[in-house]
Amino acid sequence: MRKVYLDHVATNPLHPEALEAMLPYLKENFGNPLSIYELGLKAREAIEDARGKVAALINANPQEIIFTSSGAEANNFALRGIAIAHQNKGNHIIVSRMEHHSILNSARFLEKSGFAVTYLPVDKYGTVNPEAVKKAITKETTLISIIHASPEVGTIEPIADIARVAKDRGIFFHTDAVASTGNIPIDVNALGVDLLSMAAHQFYGPKGAGALYMKEGIRITPLIYGGIQEGGRRAGTENVPSIVGMGKAAELARKDMDRRISHIKPMRDRIIKELLKTDHIYLTGHPENRLPGHASFAVEYIEGESMLLLLAGKGIYAASGSACTSKALKASPVLLSMGIPSNIAQGSVVFTLGEGTTEADVDYLIETLPQIITRLREISPYGKGWDHPEDLLMQKERT
């Protein structure tokens, strides 16, 4: 059976050159980077080389990169580390309703610890309004964290504008750029951010490697105490092979970015154009300001998970948004915050393209998905009323 991987926002295959770069550090170059003899020095040099490459990808200085185990750790570190380090100045932080769970759940943890958190609403495209950020600021606000690009709906937020609002008030600004780093150009100076999270596997690096960019001179409390790794800010013996792989992947992403974008974007546009021809299917997220390989939809009268299963049965691997949607069978909070009714939000499906995606893959998807939608609607309990959705909504509310 044909296999079509359209879930690049979940993860990506490791780039062969990244694997090649990693292999010596999984084999003969196994030294601990803190050891002072040659094996240790080799590992230390490899980490510093990777740090330089990751910094170059986002136009940062190497000493501003702190390696972590994942994007989620970088997000936890930024939110909790900055909020706690600066709590003597204030106890209020601002996030948006578009955030990933590593931000939202960190914010909830901080709330339980006595912080006040504002969860900013978004418009129908999932865009955060910089004016709303400005209004939410209090004299207690120490940190604002807004996602750069949503993995669920692809929308790219006006980060430079929001960062300017934060800077004007002397508030730290963090952006979760896990879905965007390595996929679209990022310059931390042009964006004006103080902190930025990223993950290697989002740009063909290995899993188990992430990083937090933190502008020099900022005070942060570590999440992990121990040794002097990462300047004492993130203890634990470094994951040398993964860090090396991340460095190589960053170097390749920087070099190949334009080519990668021009490879996936026209195919992404074709998927959107063709799939929108089916009845009762809507694009979610911003029509233009979106990740180049990201096509996300809400399909009425069917449940996203069943669509994924049938797609997988045809060899097409896609996603249905966040873990909430997929694993807990709950309507996505991100889609709900964009004003999408919960019955429609249940029918969420996300296709994300990558290096290996071909025009033939896109043809296969465009041919297969409408058939699956038709089949599911025939057997769906929602199916009967699908010409009169308002009746269906009322029925649903009564039951």
Partner 1 sequence: MATASTGSAEVPLKFLDKPIKADKTTDIIYMMCPMHLLTIQQKLKEIKVGEVLAILTDYDGALEDIPMWCENTGNEFIGVVDASDHYTFYIRKLKD
Catalytic site positions = 324
Query: For residue 195, how many other CB atoms are within 10 A of its CB?
Result: 28
Work out how close the CB of 110 gets to partner 1 at its nearest, in angstroms, rounded to a whole number: 16
Whole-angstrom Cα distance, residue 232 to residue 246? 21
| Count of chain residues binding partner 1 (CB under 8 A) | 12
Per rule CB under 8 A, is residue 1 in the interface with partner 1?
no
Work out how close the CB of 2 gets to partner 1 at its nearest, in angstroms, rounded to a whole number: 53
Choose one: 17-25, 54-62, 213-221, 250-258; the region binding partner 1 (CB under 8 A).
213-221
Chosen residue from 34, 89, 232, 383 binding partner 1 by CB under 8 A: 232
Q: Which phi and psi (to 5°) does residue 352 adopt?
A: -130, 130
DSSP for residue 238: -
Torsion of CA 269, 270, 271, 272, to 10 degrees: 50
Quote the crossing angle between the two packed helices 101-112 and 71-85, to the nearest 10°.
30
Chosen residue from 233, 263, 294, 314 binding partner 1 by CB under 8 A: 233
Whole-angstrom Cα distance, residue 278 to residue 300? 11
Instruction: Quote the tokens at residue 332.
Output: 């996505």
Choose one: 153-161, 173-181, 212-220, 249-257; the region binding partner 1 (CB under 8 A).
212-220
Chosen residue from 19, 39, 56, 85 binding partner 1 by CB under 8 A: 85
| 354 touches 264 (CB < 8 A) | yes
Restricted to residues 87-126, the positions that interact with partner 1 (CB under 8 A) are: 88
Choose one: 101-109, 114-122, 220-228, 276-284; the region binding partner 1 (CB under 8 A).
220-228
Per rule CB under 8 A, is residue 219 in the interface with partner 1?
yes
Work out how close the CB of 232 gets to partner 1 at its nearest, in angstroms, rounded to a whole number: 4
Per rule CB under 8 A, is residue 30 in the interface with partner 1?
no
Write out the H or E segment, with its range, that includes residue 213. Answer: strand 210-214
Residue number with CB closer to partner 1 (88 or 399): 88
Per rule CB under 8 A, is residue 225 in the interface with partner 1?
yes
Work out how close the CB of 84 gets to partner 1 at its nearest, in angstroms, rounded to a whole number: 9
Whole-angstrom Cα distance, residue 336 to residue 320? 14
Per rule CB under 8 A, is residue 221 in the interface with partner 1?
yes
Write out the H or E segment, with its range, that includes residue 141. Answer: strand 141-145
Q: Could you give the angle at the alpha carbon of 288 between the alpha carbons of 146 and 304, nearest 5°?
A: 75
Nearest CA to 303 out of 241, 225, 380 is that of 380
Choose one: 71-79, 190-198, 225-233, 373-381; the region binding partner 1 (CB under 8 A).
225-233
Contact residues toward partner 1 (CB under 8 A) are 85, 88, 217, 219-222, 225, 228, 231-233
